Amino acid sequence: MSEAYEKLQNCLKCIREKTDFRPEMALILGSGLGDYAESIDIRAEVSYHDIEGFPVSTVPGHKGRFVFGYVKQVPVIVMQGRVHYYEGYAMEDVVLPTRLMGMLGAKKLLVTNAAGGINFDFAPGDFMLITDHISTMVPNPLLGANLGELGPRFPDMSEVYSRRMGTIVKAEAEKLGISLKEGVYLQLTGPSYETPAEIRMFRNLGADAVGMSTVCETIAARHMGMEICGISCITNLAAGMSVKALNHAEVQETADRVAKQFKELVTAVVGQ
Ligand code: HPA
């Protein structure tokens, strides 16, 4: 057994000592949805601190625990607090929680994030269904010895974001009267925001939104064969697209402003 897989097994054991709950779906929720877990029918929770070897976030305001429970009768596991590559973790640790949720039984993953809009048709407060991603600027989380227990050496990435689930997201958004854009998400390491020249380059490369998370997690999840759906909240126009400078407060402000709608959408999608 490789060291990485042994670490995962150890984490799994720590969690299984506390709960035998089997989630069907995993939720990784970004800015604005930090308190979503508190709104579900909670059956168990496990603090990240109680999981040996688990990466614990350094970002202020990020809580660190897995919450197990039901959303509309669907057994879910919610990551309350996630870690980012820019915090200095090894990529293997950034995707460890995602892998653990898969090992706990989750066959599906719903991931959300805050993102800067690159597409000229986007406005702050819009939601974007992630139809595909570009990840070439961040190390691939599958680098190194393959964890054969989880998946193949060369996993296919031709449909990372499930068209089936995308159809559900679109239908639920329409029912709720939420306007939903679609596009390609590009992950960067951060933590500095991009320059206007970089944003022009990313637009030419085919990106519609940019952020500092998600793709590494979805690659690890896809490697395990999970069915994935991703939704971005466009919190700001990317660098150079408006006269304003970027700052985290603005990102948080927009995320908080649309959080209620975002939560409704997440609940509706899980229910379907
Ligand atoms: N760039 C990168 N990450 C982000 C942005 C952005 O403009 N907005 C929210 N997360």
Supply angle C-alpha 87, 92, 95, rounded to 5.
80
Tens of pLDDT, residues 224-258: 999 999 999 999 999 999 888 888 888 888 888 88
- Judge whether 76 and 127 are in contact, CB under 8 Å: no
For residue 194, give the ligand 1 atom closest to its CA: 1
Which ligand 1 atom minimizes the distance to the CA of 239?
Answer: 7
The predicted-structure confidence for 55-112, as pLDDT tens digits, reads as follows: 886 666 556 899 999 999 999 999 988 889 999 999 999 999 999 999 999 999 999 9
Residue 199 has pLDDT above 60, yes or no: yes
Residues with active-site annotation: 31, 62, 84, 86-87, 114, 212-213, 236, 248
Q: What is the ipTM of this complex?
A: 0.98
pTM: 0.94
Q: Which residues line ligand 1 (CB under 6 A)?
A: 114-116, 193-194, 210-212, 235-236, 238, 246, 251
Q: What are phi and psi of 178, to 5 degrees?
A: -100, 125
What does residue 140 show for φ and ψ, rounded to 5 degrees? -70, 130
